[in-house]
Structure 1
Amino acid sequence: MSADLLARIAALEGAIAEFLPAALERRRNGFEPCDRLMAKVRAKAEIDRDVVCMSVAEVAPINMVGEVDDAMATAVCDQLEAARLCPTIEVFIDSEGGDFDAAVRIFRAIRWHAATLKRARLGRRCMSAGVLVAMGCDVRIASPNTEFLLHLTADQPDHRERWTIYRHLESMRRLRWSDQQYLNVIADASGADLAELAIEAAKDEPQPLAWCLAHGLIHEIEVPK
């Protein structure tokens, strides 16, 4: 192959590089509080438990059922605030997913909660943004019929607006950023390989619970009594 042809191929690759998917970068997610700050949060909660003039439940149930949106994020954050002194929280998740930013709000609120045990119980659906929320818990327990789905983020142009190539590129970059954040959170919480998670997410189909168990996305499949 001639040097001229190689140069032309290199130039072509450079011209279309931004349109092609690149490998995701493995990095610690930016939504996780550092150990030093969490130690302060837990120490304050311990002091408040000793002086509060009311009994504190050992386990606080937190419900997240339905679409993940701003209203859901506000409701879950309110539940977490009401249970701020409880040493254990149990988050029940039954959701087909929803908005990425709302899921991040819930994830951060769970991670910043002072509880020393954060347990997720997965209902019929733990999908899309719901998976991100589940990763905020230290222990994740699925039911035998849980439908589990991690996938890449998506956008849909509004047919009433003009989407130029620049608008599409802007959306593409934002989706890529969301995918990187989403999958890095899952990799941090599960210990799974980022590249393997990206390949699985790109299939856009539910993951078998056995696969989730083997890759650390869930810790247990609850056997019906």
Structure 2
Amino acid sequence: MLLAIHGEIDTSTRDRVYAALEAAQFAAELHIDIDSCGGQPGAAIDIYAAIISYPAITKTAVIRNAESAALLIAMAADHRCAVPGARITLHRAAGEPEPGLRWTADMHAASADFLNWLDTEMARLLAIRTGTPGEAFETEMQSEDSSSLVWCLDNRVIHEIRDIK
């Protein structure tokens, strides 16, 4: 089964993924093609959980671009291949106050706590899925720049770089 994660990740992406996995619930192989700049963390977490629990024997991701929340989805695959020139971006979580709301110091503090929790959880999940210490990811998350594919290979974010059409 081929699952395409292209464009911004949102609840409609999540719903499409749920429907596709349900329709092919007995597929032995799951191929995930990822070309996304990211999107909503909550939707990405839901997609990650759905792919992790999907019973396929083989789960492979081809990463054309996996930035921000899209990287989380890629991490659900057991084998991750990046195409040459792929952008893989791991950065700290960000949020914006909802327009029109009056934000108090307590609301800002709660938002900061939540964003810090997201960062910690992302580094923890990456460490679990790669075997690389979480500190390496926490350091890499400090930048808004894409990670080099060599860094991604060295830290087992990806397993290979291969030209795939």
Compute the TM-score of the two structures, normalised by the length of structure 2. 0.96
Aligned CA-pair RMSD: 1.3
Q: What pairs up with 1:198-209 in 2 under 5 angstroms?
A: 198-209=138-149
- Cα distance in structure 2, aligned partners of 1:90 and 1:155: 31
1:80 and 2:21 correspond: yes
Q: What is the match of residue 48 of structure 2?
A: 107
2:108 corresponds to which letter in structure 1?
H
Deviation at 1:224, TM superposition (A): 5.9
Q: Which has the larger share of helix?
A: 1
- Cα distance in structure 1, aligned partners of 2:39 and 2:98: 17
Deviation at 1:68, TM superposition (A): 0.8
Q: What is the match of residue 67 of structure 2?
A: 127
Deviations, residues 19-45 of structure 1 (Å, cap 9, x unaligned): xxxxxxxxxxxxxxxxxxxxxxxxxxx
Deviations, residues 47-94 of structure 1 (Å, cap 9, x unaligned): xxxxxxxxxxxxx11111111110001101111111210111000011
Q: What is the match of residue 18 of structure 1?
A: none
Gaps of 5+ in 2: none
Q: What is the match of residue 15 of structure 1?
A: none
Are the aligned partners of 2:83 and 2:163 in contact in 1 as well (CA < 8 Å)?
yes
Q: What is the match of residue 63 of structure 1?
A: 4
Pick aligned residue for 1:93 from 3, 11, 34:
34
Pick aligned residue for 1:153 from 69, 78, 93:
93
1:175 and 2:115 correspond: yes
Q: What is the match of residue 138 of structure 1?
A: 78
Gaps of 5+ in 1: 1-59
Give SS of 2:85's match.
coil
Structure 1 stretch displaced more, 178-187 or 92-101? 178-187
- Cα distance in structure 2, aligned partners of 1:153 and 1:173: 11
1:165 and 2:105 correspond: yes
- Cα distance in structure 1, aligned partners of 2:49 and 2:164: 31
1:118 corresponds to which letter in structure 2?
K
Structure of higher CA gyration radius:
1
Deviations, residues 141-193 of structure 1 (Å, cap 9, x unaligned): 00002111011110112342211110110101111111122221111111111
- Cα distance in structure 1, aligned partners of 2:98 and 2:46: 25
